[in-house]
Structure 1
Amino acid sequence: MIFSILLLLLFSLQFTMIKIRTPKSQRAKRAIEKRAPKLVETGRKTLILQGTKTSSTLNEVLTEIYHLKKENAVRYTRKNENIRPFESGGETSLEFFSLKTDCSLVVFGSHSKKRPNNLVIGRTYDHHIYDLVEVGVENFKSLESFTYDKKQAPHAGSKPFIAFIGEGFENVEELKHLKEMLLELLRGEVVENLNLAGVDRAYVCTAVSSNRVFFTHCALRLKKSGSIVPKMELVEVGPSMDLVFRRHRLPNDGLRKIAMKTAKDQAKKKEKNVSKDAVEGKVGKIYIPEQKVGATALPNKAKGVKRERREAKMKNSGNDSASKKPKTSSE
């Protein structure tokens, strides 16, 4: 009992020391600013770690999840004691590792007689556990167990399609929560525009029953269809597994209220001399300084003056010749 209390005090002391640390160089300052909250979030990092006891199947599952999210994931291979996410005080180590690695998603694997091949997926807010979902892994097939043309393998870091098939994802509360977790885990960074040529993978989640979901990973092949939109074919490349829902923990109302706060829209910078009209749209005013025409220096126009005189002289000579009447002889 005394040992556990000392351990908790140690973790809280480490948490406090990291929290109040001030930057002493520009590099450290940039690193802290990178971790600061943002109005538009970038892709979330995932922390993958394991408990005191694991199985070979669960180790393969954690390793392949890490390979699927290699660019945005941190993998701890050492055994970690006293991590019990669903017990009070058992999530302290997870929160400490989340703060240390700047990860907002946690995947924790453990194995016991009561809960074999146990996988816990959790989200954090401000590096505190927000919510958790616990599933059991069954019928696991690794990447190496699938045979296919290696040229069709998805590229690392490509944007995936995610398909959820089954009414359970809309009707069953537990599967709704699991759907949210899988979306956060697999989607990566949210983008507005997408190049279809770069989409080469798909995650397919099928609700087999009210507590079982079949998960598989497929490669996308684009084929000619005779139109602008290509024909797509799915090639299963693995891994695949059955996720059996066991238990979950929803966020408490206080933490949910804080996490759901949205930042106020920043006031747009005022444009000078610009107004908007319902009919004309955007209207701008242009101010021109007073022009003093009399004081403006004129260029030398001697050549032009000579030409004007010459033209005027020719015009006058033509008029004079036209006005003269021919002499008539009288007999």
Structure 2
Amino acid sequence: MATQRIPVILVTGFLGSGKTTMLNHLMRDSADTRIGVIVNDFGSINIDALAVAGQVDSMIPIENGCLCCAADASEMDEMLARLTEPELRIDVVVIEASGLAEPQSMIRALLSSTNERIVYGGLVEVVDAAEFGDTRARHPELDRHVRAADLVVLNKTDRVTEDERDDLLETLQEIAPGAPVLTAAHGRVDPALLFDHQPREASEERFRQLSFADVCADGHEHGHHLHAAYDSVEFTSAEPLHPQRLMAFLDSRPVGLYRVKGFLHFAGAGSERKFGLHAVGSYLRFQPSPWEPGEPRVTQLVLIGTGIDADALTKRLAECAVTATEEIDETHMMGVLRYVDAAD
């Protein structure tokens, strides 16, 4: 079976947007996920790393099973190699970029990495709602950063009025039409929107995504958690899917649908491999792997978002199933293969 590669998620945003606060929440609320963290700061005193880990060192074990590395850009590849050593059993790596970092450059660095244990997991841009106008005036490149993001987090919405928030959401859509935008206060973002995790103690299960119960396994009441604001839709199909219709669905998914994850069984040329699907916002990636002997060849997906129509989504996915009279050839898989890394 192909080795599962570790997703590396970039978190960017200008100074004061709340990246470190969001990162701390993600680590605290992901008790079942081992997170490797690289804080990419260029100052002589790495304040962000201090906030994340309580001290600065090349590698710091954190009580909840996370690891934190303080690194500059030249050390990033070395840090990734160290964080992805199998004995550390890391599930996901988050890079918190410097407030002055250039997202496109960091994306290129990750895509060109020779580390076979990692895969690029998408770019999350954190935007300060309260200081948006001033930040945009000081840093006109903010628009370009928003357009490069797979998911925009409009943070600190507790510091603006509802009308101001709506105006900001409209402005962000003007900057990047169709970009998924998630509102947050105090950097609180549900880890299930960003992280895939298959608990190691449940590895014998054929399909196991990080559920909202997993994310919030601290015993608090349901209504107090972030996930109370989100909808989760599960889809299973024993019939193979038409790859072109599945791509049409993914290309036109509604704005409120932030996450799609799971495994796909395609018809035709793609049927001999299982395709893992990972989508965060506009970011999309497929990872093929062999079917295990005796493994049921079914499609199993989890879709997470706000204001989504579960029945409509399920109906559209069901319509992706292949009919008995259809013939599928290699050309039908071309759209899918565009989003598969050459290494796969």
Q: How does the TM-score come out when normalised to structure 1?
A: 0.28
Taking CA–CA contacts closer than 8 Å with sequence separation of 6 or more, which of the two structures ends up with the larger relative contact order? 2
Output the TM-score relative to the length of structure 2: 0.27
